[in-house]
Amino acid sequence: MVSREFFAVNWGDMRDSAVLLIDCPDRKGLVARVSGLLYEQGANILHADQHQDHDLGLFFMRVEFGLGGGKPSEGDGAEGARFDLEGFKGAFAPLAAELGMRWKLSADGRRPRMALFCSQYLHCVVDLLHRWRMGELDCEISIIISNHREVELLAAFYGILFKYVPVTAATRAEAERAQLALLAKYEVDLVVLARYMQILSPEFVAQYPAAIINVHHSFLPAFTGARPYHAAHARGVKLIGATSHYVTAVLDDGPIIEQDVARISHRDQVPDLVARGRDLERMVLSRAVRWHLDRRILCYGNKTVVFD
């Protein structure tokens, strides 16, 4: 087993910031009202992005701002005290109520804890573990759970806890109870289904709203189900794709986060589609996980806004 220290990443270099996510009915002056209040509170805005859904009349905004150097008070140095998040919440709440805003404020602190679920196909897990150790994913991977043992040695190599939870039709409810107990024990915030070839029950999904990310080996909504490459080949399509989406109670129907495609031809057979699809699956899943961890995604209806 390889020591964790072998892969040490300097997480201290990560930005000390907070992210404000907003959605509300669209109207004039929203950007000015939000940025003006942040300015009054002494925030240093690092990045801001916005989007309007003109058909629905909705406005979406993401603001990232620094936490070191808020509004100065008596006795503070020239750069002021650390930004007062609680004070900002108190000042922002009346404005949000006035403008009909749904909002979420999150700050750097305890890094999100992620659990990886997988079955026998390990290409997505391998990719995520590598990106994590390279510092691309700002999280802790607390546990890997699988209904097969193929990933056990890989988990040991990275020094991550592995739990084998077999699943059959007769034991599905019992297995999910065991899985949920593990997620609660290790305080998991995000569940990533990295080619986990089992359908989660609505009761399981309800425990993690907009916090279970799946990769589906098809360009949804086309070719849902377990054998999309076979279905795509039978249909004679010229493009195949992969989709990463949040999991809901309806199979393969959750809000889509990321998709990508590859061109194929009549010469490609099912094994060729599977091989080319693996690269797509790795890319779309890693992007979706990173955007979630970076707090760049807002869900509304069955859609997402993914901010730059």
**What is the number of structural domains in the chain?**
2
For residue 46, report the phi and psi dihedrals to the nearest 5 degrees: -95, -35
Question: For 78-106, what is the mean pLDDT?
Answer: 88
- The answer as to whether 6 is a domain residue is no
- The answer as to whether 12 is a domain residue is no
For β-strands 303-306 and 297-300, DSSP reports them as antiparallel
Coil, strand or helix at 83: coil
Instruction: Quote the tokens at residue 222.
Output: 């086309």
Coil, strand or helix at 134: coil
Lookup result for tokens 């189900």: 225
- The answer as to whether 302 is a domain residue is yes
Q: Model confidence at 7, in pLDDT bands (50, 70, 90)?
A: very low
CB atoms within 10 A of CB 145: 23
Q: Model confidence at 275, in pLDDT bands (50, 70, 90)?
A: confident
- CATH code of 64's domain: 3.30.70.260
Whether the pLDDT of residue 83 is over 90: the answer is: no
Q: How far apart (Å, rounded) are the C-alpha atoms in residues 130 and 11?
A: 16
What was the pLDDT predicted at 178?
98
For β-strands 17-25 and 140-146, DSSP reports them as unpaired
Among 107, 128, 153, residue at a domain's last position: 107
Whether residue 68 is found in the same domain as residue 211: no
- Is 252 one of the annotated active-site residues of the chain? yes
Whether the pLDDT of residue 213 is over 90: the answer is: yes
Q: How far apart (Å, rounded) are the C-alpha atoms in residues 42 and 271?
A: 57
Q: How far apart (Å, rounded) are the C-alpha atoms in residues 218 and 162?
A: 28
Q: Of 240, 243, 233, whose CA–CA distance to 277 is shortest?
A: 240
Q: What percentage of the chain exceeds 70 in pLDDT?
A: 91
Question: For 206-218, what is the mean pLDDT?
Answer: 94
Q: Model confidence at 187, in pLDDT bands (50, 70, 90)?
A: very high
Whether residue 67 is found in the same domain as residue 123: no
- The answer as to whether 1 is a domain residue is no
pLDDT tens-digit profile of 276-285? Answer: 889 999 999 9
What was the pLDDT predicted at 79?
52
Across the chain, mean pLDDT equals 89
Question: For 35-43, what is the mean pLDDT?
Answer: 93
Whether residue 210 is found in the same domain as residue 279: yes
Q: Of 137, 119, 139, whose CA–CA distance to 128 is shortest?
A: 137
Coil, strand or helix at 29: coil
Among 72, 88, 107, residue at a domain's last position: 107
DSSP H/E element including 256: strand 256-263
Whether residue 228 is found in the same domain as residue 295: yes
User: In DSSP terms, which residues pair with 103 in a beta bridge?
Assistant: 22
What was the pLDDT predicted at 224?
79
- CATH code of 209's domain: 3.40.50.170
Whether the pLDDT of residue 70 is over 60: the answer is: no
Whether residue 179 is found in the same domain as residue 232: yes
pLDDT tens-digit profile of 224-260? Answer: 777 888 888 888 888 888 999 999 999 889 999 999 9
Marked catalytic residue, from 84, 127, 252, 268: 252
Instruction: Quote the tokens at residue 91.
Output: 């000042």
Whether residue 68 is found in the same domain as residue 149: no
Who's near 45: CB < 8 A, 6+ residues apart?
35, 38, 63, 64, 65
pLDDT tens-digit profile of 126-174? Answer: 999 999 999 999 999 999 999 999 999 999 999 999 999 999 999 999 9
Q: Of 234, 214, 179, whose CA–CA distance to 292 is shortest?
A: 214
Domain that holds residue 132: 113-306
What was the pLDDT predicted at 274?
86
Whether residue 32 is found in the same domain as residue 63: yes
Whether residue 68 is found in the same domain as residue 166: no
What was the pLDDT predicted at 222?
76
Cβ pair 182, 145 in contact under 8 A: yes
Pick the more confident residue, 94 or 9. Answer: 94
What was the pLDDT predicted at 291?
97
